[in-house]
A and B are shown apart, each in its own frame.
Chain A
Amino acid sequence: MSGKYAIVIDTDVVRGATNNAKNRIFRDILLSFLETEHLLAISTPLWAEWFKQRDNPAGQWEYYISLYSYRWLTEMKSRKRVRRYDLDHTLEGRILSGIPRERTGEVKKDMHLVLTALAADKRIISNDQRERRDLQKAGRKFELLCDLVWPPLEQVCAWLREGAPQKDVFLVC
């Protein structure tokens, strides 16, 4: 492995790492992440989203992230591999300027993910393909977004083990 980067992980991944058969890829990704040396890039709003409480079917509250992810995060923290970033909210307007009006609401909702990635090493692990396409469009007006590395989920484990390089095929645009 050649690189060690601060990478953002979307809430859908840490939430999805459960016992659901379809979601084994999320558990695989977190395990691969732990077994490499990469850092987890986090910001206050992203952290808050991960730890948002919700009711489960039994009527008890639980965190948004799964128990598996909780254990993973504990170990990442224990190994000093969680790095917190302050967000540059002045970029929001420039990002949104390239987004079609009907999609701005959705992009705003996930703005903290993009801003955290921009503040860190511009690498995102997420299953939100719609968001990726939105950023691709926005990249035409705000070129910095095109530097974001966002590999397809099924290639993330191998990419992490390779050192999370900035491969052209994984760039947002």
Chain B
Amino acid sequence: MVFSKVIVEGFKSFRVRQEIPFKSLTLLAGSNSSGKSSLMQPLLLLKQTLQDTSDPGPLRINGPHVVFSRAEQMMWHAPGEGERLSFNIGLELSLKGQVRRVEIFFQRRRKPRGAPSLQVVKCIWSDNPDTPPIELTPSLSENEIKKRFSEEIKILKDKLSGLAEESQQSTPNNGSSSLSFKVSRRRSFLVIEGHSTLFGPVSFAFPGWSTEIEHHLKRIIHVPGLRGNPQRTYPVRSVGEEYSGFFQEYVASIIARWQRQRGEKMEELNRALANMKLTWKVRSYQRNDAEVELQVGRTEQPLRGGAKDLVNITDVGFGLSQSLPIIVALLVSEPDQLVYLEQPEIHLHPDAQVALTNLIADAVNRGVQVVVETHSQLILLGIQRAIAQQQLNPNDVLLHWFSRDNQGRTEITSTTFSEEGSFNNPKMPTDFADISLRLMHEYLTAASDTALRS
């Protein structure tokens, strides 16, 4: 698991501060507009801010993953509560027993006058429950920095002195005269930037592990609910650990790489597509140096001479083009990488939804962290089956059920699972079965009434 908590306060429908836990597989379900997507938006806002090619200010509010047009759209508001000018978002990383947290406090400028509408007013970093968190504000003076972080600075000085001695350079006043510090905004975060002229200009920032948080945010794979229309060709993309922008644009290039590698991934992909009864084969075909085409088999099973029976992905049903990014995301993701799937069930036949749960379980068992936002009772039941069949460890799975109170505030009811795949929380308000049973009952009653009347 990578992301173990998301922290929100005053953000959209999260009025009060909440720390929402995550596990290796986290399911987000519940009624429409209850806050499921909003819970993931802090991570996506940070991702799109970090991956912007130029500095968009503290948050890129209009990006490929989350789209706002005004800062106040991100803030909790309710009639009679007055205008809110601030919100905070944060996260906790848990990696190899080490827990690291950051919480960022944003404030809206009333009159931006061309400047970004948001400013970071505080950033709290913590990595050890025994030591006080590092609380940074932009107004922190150099003297205060040197006073508050004297130990860290001493360690830094010692390191620099050691390096200076090694390189036999003079270190006037033990290097201290060449060190300066200030609080700087690095995209969404406030960090302490140090500057030394000992070996020429050298910059450093702490907490040093802040870059680790940035690294994991940038690696998030986001497959949105709206995955766009299939394209005749896709732009050639460089495939690495990070996918900035729309993930679906990388799919053709990822498949092209798997084809070139002639490894297991292509087999896994075709097997997954066949299990989901979508197609027997997918192939990437490079049209030129800039464009890749996706070709797919028309049938579930190969026909005689079917090797040539491939058509452009736009010429088959939406089910395939919409689910391909999901399957590819689950297969391409690495251990300790977060894959966030929004409504993976869209356009999928129930059979395919059930088969998808096996792919999700496989990814989780490879060490990938998966967050699934869903309205599908089949996906939930498929995960419960995977737990009961011991394909998934119940300790790895968490379900958050979202609802809104009469003020519009998000309420989350959560449960872990027993070894039998049952909810450990007896108060879970999950209503998928209630709705389907009530519908079945009403239909059967109405149908038999009609039969009796005729």
Contacts and interface: CB of A to CB of B under 8 A. Distances in A.
Given A28-B441, A68-B437, A78 B422 contact: yes
A9 to B, nearest CB: 15
Interface centre among B384, B428, B437, B445, by most chain A C-beta atoms within 10 angstroms, is B437
B436 A80 contact: no
A19 B447 contact: yes
Contact of B434 (A19, A35, A68, A74): A35
B381 A74 contact: yes
Nearest to A81: B426
A31 B381 contact: no
Interface string B413-454: 000001011111010101001101110110011011101100
B381 A78 contact: yes
Nearest to B388: A77
* Contact count band on A: 20 to 34
A71 interface: yes
A44 B169 CA distance: 83
A34 B434 contact: yes
A5 interface: no
Contacts of B422: 77-80
B304 to A, nearest CB: 32
Interface in A126-167: none
Given A35-B434, A79-B428, A71 B440 contact: yes
Nearest to B427: A37
B448 A21 contact: yes
Interface residues of B, number: 25
A20 B422 CA distance: 31
Contact of B437 (A21, A75, A80): A75
Contacts of A71: 433, 436-437, 440
Contacts of A27: 437, 440-441, 444-445
Would you call the interface of chain B mostly helix, strand, loop, or mixed?
helix
A63 interface: no
Contacts of B424: 80
A77 B430 CA distance: 13
A72 interface: yes
A78 to B, nearest CB: 6
Nearest to B441: A27
A30 interface: yes
Contacts of B438: 31
A29 to B, nearest CB: 11
A108 interface: no
Contacts of A19: 444, 447-448
A74 B420 CA distance: 12
A31 B452 CA distance: 23
A31 B437 contact: yes
Contact of A77 (B420, B428, B448, B452): B420
Interface in B184-215: none
A94 interface: no
A54 interface: no
Contacts of B448: 19-21, 24
B436 A78 contact: no
Contacts of A75: 433-434, 437
A79 B423 contact: yes
Contacts of A80: 418, 422-424, 426
A156 to B, nearest CB: 15
Interface in B272-286: none
A97 to B, nearest CB: 39
B428 A72 contact: no
A78 B384 contact: yes
Nearest to B436: A71
Contacts of A81: 426
Nearest to B452: A21
Contacts of B437: 27, 30-31, 34, 68, 71-72, 75
Given A71-B436, A72-B433, A78 B441 contact: no
A21 B449 contact: yes
Given A80-B422, A80-B424, A31 B433 contact: no
A30 B440 CA distance: 12
Contacts of B449: 21
A17 to B, nearest CB: 9
A30 B441 CA distance: 10
Contacts of B418: 80
Interface of A: 18-21, 24, 27-28, 30-31, 34-35, 37, 68, 71-72, 74-75, 77-81
Interface of B: 381, 384, 418, 420-424, 426, 428, 430, 433-434, 436-438, 440-441, 444-445, 447-449, 451-452
6 cross-chain pairs, A with B, having the tightest CB-CB distances, nearest first: A21-B448, A75-B433, A80-B422, A19-B444, A27-B441, A24-B445
28 contacts: A21-B448, A27-B440, A27-B444, A27-B445, A30-B437, A34-B433, A37-B426, A68-B437, A68-B441, A68-B444, A71-B437, A72-B437, A74-B433, A75-B433, A75-B437, A77-B422, A78-B381, A78-B421, A78-B430, A78-B433, A79-B422, A79-B426, A79-B428, A79-B430, A80-B418, A80-B424, A80-B426, A81-B426
